[in-house]
Chains A and B, each alone.
Chain A
Amino acid sequence: MRWIRYFLLIISLVVLQTALFPSLRIWDAAPDLLLVATIAVAYERGAETGAVFGFVSGIAIDCFLSSPLGVSALAFSLVGYGVGIFQSGLVRSTRWIAPILGGLGGLVGGFLWICIASISGSEDLFTPTSFRILVIASLYDALVAIVIFPFARWASGEHEYAHR
């Protein structure tokens, strides 16, 4: 049942990422909804679930990008794994955890994406403009994380290790 909710979450976010947010860019930057969702799921469920969710959501969005299939999947799964490791060492949560994790995770995930895409053949990604877009996108990620984290919590369902 949980994976059905995750599937619905992924499909919804893919539709929004491809149909809505290209029109809602701020200084050429759009948020990475599926990356933020990966961070949220990893925060709720840990490294393993975060990595698998990141892989599946990355494959989903890769189908709509011109970069090779697997680039987003690799970047998202590594971020999901890292956030899962981080949250396992978290002693106390904070109300600002969603925007903080969303923003920082977006920054790291975006940078990982650039590195992986460059290695896999995409050209001319290491430019000052790309890094400007990366920073703005991570701020945008922090903003949308406030909305996405509750949905990820719903999708993750009740479990004994849930953060509250």
Chain B
Amino acid sequence: MAVYRRESRRRPIIALIVVTCLALITLDNSGNGVIGTVRHTARDAIAPVQGVVSDAFNPVANVFDGVTKVHGLEDDNARLRAQVSELQGKLSRNRGVGEEYSQLARLLDIPDIEDVTGVVARVIGGPAGNFERTLTLNKGTSQGIVTGMPIVAGDGLVGKVTDASRTRATVTLIDSPGLGVGVRTEKSREQAVTQGRSGDRLLRLGFIDNPRAAIEEGELVFTAGVEGAAYPPDVPVARVVKIDRNRGELDPDIFVEPLVDLDKLVFVKALRWPPRDVAATDGGG
């Protein structure tokens, strides 16, 4: 049976907690180094235990995935087979053009994605919260992964390292709100910026140079690679899946779908970009 209870000193305690939290939020937003050190220390301290737990419960997670996602597997399989066929065709057609471009790029000393080295890492965790799109990698600064490095997988761009401790790195995915990627479209070569939307896997293409450009559904978008860009040029990013030209509006709503399945990543590569400027320790490749 419950008993009524009185507690004194409630209000000063909660007021102190609120003020402390607001101070911490303000300090973190201002880029305070002490808070960053606290985060990194906590992550490095928990990392060994996380690894053990993750490995131990991997079969459970696989069964859970199998049960909750089986209905989409057949559709995914068919869609992916079609995509592979289409891409193989494009690859064949582009081989001749690609070789000419490589020769020209070498002559003009233009950095190419093929020249970029990197660090391969394993994805060991997804976001701890419900409202962010991040991954955790099993390597950090001690293995050559530093903040700012672009992350790619086999099919294209994944995101960017936004935090790195000694043994772990956090990657913010390209469909995360607040992480824009400068891109250009495949055919019309219009420059734009991708914009993630909370809870939605599709990205919106914004800040298009020419809103009336003839962008088509199915068209690919690649990293723009302008001078000083955070990503190497010509990395595949997404495919245009929907164009909504509402009447009365100048800019169409263009939605793109990331080429990489950001929810099923196992291994990724952190690129040393730009090649001359990234100061990374020699820990992998």
Tell me if A123 and B53 are in contact (CB < 8 A).
no
Q: Given A70-B28, A120-B29, are A64 and B42 neighbors across the interface (CB < 8 Å)? A: yes
Interface-side segment among A1-9, A15-23, A148-156: A15-23
Tell me if A20 and B130 are in contact (CB < 8 A).
no
Tell me if A41 is interfacial: C-beta within 8 Å of chain B.
no
Tell me if A147 is interfacial: C-beta within 8 Å of chain B.
no
Complex Cα distance, B57 from A40, in Å, reads 25
Out of A11, A63, A117, A130, which one reaches B39, CB within 8 Å? A63
Complex interface residues of chain B between 119 and 168 (CB less than 8 A to chain A): 124-132, 134, 136, 162-163
Out of A18, A133, A161, which one reaches B5, CB within 8 Å? A161
Contact mask for chain B residues 11-47; partner A; CB cutoff 8 A; 1 contact, 0 none: 0011001101111110111000001001100110010
Tell me if A127 and B17 are in contact (CB < 8 A).
no
Residue of A nearest to B29 (CB): A68
Tell me if A65 and B2 are in contact (CB < 8 A).
no
Out of A14, A70, A88, A137, which one reaches B6, CB within 8 Å? A88
Q: Given A66-B132, A66-B172, A92-B1, are A15 and B49 neighbors across the interface (CB < 8 Å)? A: yes
Contact mask for chain A residues 52-74; partner B; CB cutoff 8 A; 1 contact, 0 none: 10010011110111111111111
Tell me if A19 and B54 are in contact (CB < 8 A).
yes
Among A55, A61, A117, which residue has the most Cβ atoms of chain B within 10 A? A55
Tell me if A65 and B17 are in contact (CB < 8 A).
no
Complex Cα distance, B170 from A3, in Å, reads 31
Contacts of A73 in B (CB 8 A): 17, 20-21, 24
Task: Count A-side interface residues using an 8 Å CB cutoff.
Answer: 73
Contacts of A92 in B (CB 8 A): 1-2
Tell me if B131 and A18 are in contact (CB < 8 A).
no
Residue pairs across A and B with CB atoms within 8 Å: the count is: 189
Tell me if B276 is interfacial: C-beta within 8 Å of chain A.
no
Complex Cα distance, B20 from A88, in Å, reads 26
Out of A48, A90, A122, which one reaches B10, CB within 8 Å? A48
Tell me if A77 is interfacial: C-beta within 8 Å of chain B.
yes
Contacts of B134 in A (CB 8 A): 66
Q: Given A26-B68, A63-B42, A92-B1, are A133 and B130 neighbors across the interface (CB < 8 Å)? A: yes
Tell me if B54 and A68 are in contact (CB < 8 A).
no
Out of B1, B5, B43, which one reaches A46, CB within 8 Å? B5
Contact mask for chain A residues 128-145; partner B; CB cutoff 8 A; 1 contact, 0 none: 011011100100000000
Among B7, B14, B39, B136, which residue has the most Cβ atoms of chain A within 10 A? B14
Tell me if A30 is interfacial: C-beta within 8 Å of chain B.
yes
Complex Cα distance, B67 from A26, in Å, reads 11
Interface residues of A (CB under 8 A from B): 11, 14-20, 22-26, 28-30, 32, 46-48, 51-52, 55, 58-61, 63-74, 77-78, 81, 84-85, 87-93, 110, 113-114, 116-117, 120-125, 127, 129-130, 132-134, 137, 160-161, 163-164
Interface residues of B (CB under 8 A from A): 1-7, 9-10, 13-14, 17-18, 20-25, 27-29, 35, 38-39, 42-43, 46, 49-51, 53-54, 57, 60-61, 64-65, 68, 124-132, 134, 136, 162-163, 170, 172, 177-178, 196-200
- Please name the 5 residue pairs, one residue from A and one from B, whose CB atoms are nearest each other, closest first: A129-B199, A22-B126, A70-B24, A23-B61, A124-B177
Q: Can you identify 5 A-B contacts, CB atoms within 8 angstroms?
A: A46-B5, A51-B14, A69-B25, A122-B177, A133-B130
